[in-house]
Amino acid sequence: MKIVHFIENKIPKYGSVNGEEVRELEGDIFGNFHETKNTYSLNSIKFLPSVFPTKIIAVGLNYKDHAEEFGSPLPEEPLIFLKPPTSLLPHKGKIIYPDMSKRVDYEGEIGVIIRKKASRVSAEEAEKFILGYT
């Protein structure tokens, strides 16, 4: 199921994408939810960021080519850092570059949306804790 977060009449909503149509979801996307009869055209909705997390945990220098760009060896342990939730943009959101920026690089990113709290989860059990990807 493809889930989108959008705004309609100033009210944030979630919906499931079916072709060019979005069917509104009701309930908790992190728990129990169901589709309603309310539908919207995919082309007419205004997207929001997938979720509004309390924190964003990121991993840096996690692939060889990127480490080589910076003349660094791959770290022995993952390089973990935090991003502020205000760094999120909706689909087609406008990136505003600070005046002091001399160089801005693009990267492809993937975000994993965690469904419920977890700690020390095995690789075999991890999928049970994932709501989706963005």
Say if residues 83 and 125 touch (Cβ distance below 8 Å).
Answer: no
Tokens of 16: 């499931």
List the domain boundaries for the chain: 3-47, 56-133
Q: Which of 14, 9, 7 is nearest to 33 (CA)?
A: 14
d(CA 113, CA 134): 7
Q: Which residues have CB under 8 Å from 46's CB, separation 6+?
A: 6, 7, 90
Q: Which residues have CB under 8 Å from 61's CB, separation 6+?
A: 67, 70, 72, 74, 75, 79
pLDDT at site 76: 84
pLDDT at site 103: 81
Per-residue pLDDT of the chain (134 residues; tens, 9 = 90+): 899 999 999 999 999 999 999 999 999 999 999 999 999 999 999 999 999 888 899 887 777 777 787 787 888 888 899 988 888 888 888 888 888 988 877 777 888 999 888 999 999 999 999 999 98
Model pTM score: 0.76
d(CA 12, CA 65): 39
pLDDT at site 12: 95
- Structure letter (DSSP) for residue 94: P
pLDDT at site 87: 85
